[in-house]
Amino acid sequence: MSKAKNASVNVQANSNQYAFWLIAASIIAYLGVAPFFKALFNGGVRNNLSAYIFNQPIYAALIFTFLLSLCFGCFLLVRGQLALLRGTAIPLVLVWLLPVTYLITLWASAVSTSQTIHAIVIQCMYAFFFMFAIFLARSDKGSAVLATAIMGVGYVIVIFGFLNWFGTHIYRDAVTLEPGRLRLTSVFQYANAYAAFLIALLLASLYLLIRSHQRIVQIITAAMIVPTFLSLILTFSRASALAFAAGLTFIALVRYRKLLLLMLLAAALILALPQTQGYVERFVDAFTAGDLATQMRIGEYIDSLRLISQYPVFGVGFTGTPSINLYTDVASMYLIMANEIGLVGVGLYLLAMGGVFAYGMASWRHVRNDPQLAAIHLGYHAALLTALVNGVADHYSFRMDFQGSILLFWVVVALALASSRLTLERVSAEAATSG
């Protein structure tokens, strides 16, 4: 009887391993390939060529995701492995409430039914990837595999951008020309979207360099920090620079107070050096509305508040506004969210993000004395915080055009949640052992 039981346990363990590596290999392949198809940017369907260039990779990604979801669902049901997702019910429900909110807009205020359904399907893709990431990151090994894949792909994207910046024209849109300057975009279609990706990568790299004990990891990370930081500078993104400072401040206040002194020293150098005065002027213009871009943003904010006052509950959906005098595009993730899914959707979103940080705070008091776990835990939450701060003045983690950025955002959310869960499970196991 015991032999049969042991055999059953071994079969179950093997099936879990097969599922783990299937999901891991699929996500790694997805992360490695998708960014080089214009980061799944939704460029519209103005003509047949545009439809082919922009929409075909998106449709391929959707098919891939739903096939993988079907395989994963069959594994959970046939093998009776739904318990693998235990402890994640609340975040899974919250993330699936976002597509439900989109569904409500289909009934309440959608201008185009077909485009709203398209948006719902894409939101389901994000939710599925969030679920995959939760499944992988439920163990130390899975979390490490997922984080390593993201950072590895990130470094490849950084190198790809530099090759284009220095004249190897692999991709035409890797460097964009704006009045008076060039801006680096790499595989992303907009410099600000690339900058939002870089700040999370840079924070993770800095923290990994400090805390990792593996020599090869330290060498690779140290070699890539400078090009990653230079790439962030070459995007000329003010919102991302402020978000990066917010992420560093968060890390400093939570654990490394000496970092505040280094940040003040860096700020003093930026203000004093002649080579950085162009950047200083850009920030002065941002806070004094001294340039056209800032003035246009202020106008967008005013118009957005006017739209929200007219459609406060469920917004106007994702396919346009009922009036030609209104528009939904605005350079703020939270305002564009309120425009499209209303204050109900914004409330659900903020509730989900607040839950992530509340869960993180509950686990931090247990993990703070473990240097390795503390590094992972704090790094993921700092990366998430930078994305949320960046969303105040940019919209690349929500607007449906930037699907690659949104997908990576939800993977980071999953990693932050998983790090908290691993910590609390470890504490529970230690308590049970000592008891």
Q: So what's the pLDDT on residue 329? A: 74
Taking the C-alpha atoms of residue 194 and residue 232, their distance in angstroms, rounded to an integer, is: 8
Q: Could you tell me which of 353, 368, 358 has the C-alpha nearest to residue 414?
A: 353
Alpha-helix runs per DSSP H in 34-112: 48-50, 56-78, 89-108
The confidence band for 14, taking pLDDT boundaries of 50, 70 and 90, is low
Alpha-helix runs per DSSP H in 137-274: 140-165, 191-211, 215-234, 238-254, 258-272
Tokens encoding 307: 């739209």
DSSP state of 68: H
Backbone angles phi, psi at 321, to 5 degrees: -115, 155
Dihedral sign from CA coordinates of 431, 9, 90, 371: positive
Per-residue pLDDT averaged across 332-341, rounded?
Answer: 83
The confidence band for 1, taking pLDDT boundaries of 50, 70 and 90, is very low
At 45, the amino acid letter reads: V
pLDDT at 7 over 50: no
Q: So what's the pLDDT on residue 11? A: 46
pLDDT at 334 over 60: yes
Paired with 184 in beta bridges are 175
Number of H helices, E strands in the chain: 15, 2
Q: So what's the pLDDT on residue 386? A: 87
Q: So what's the pLDDT on residue 217? A: 78
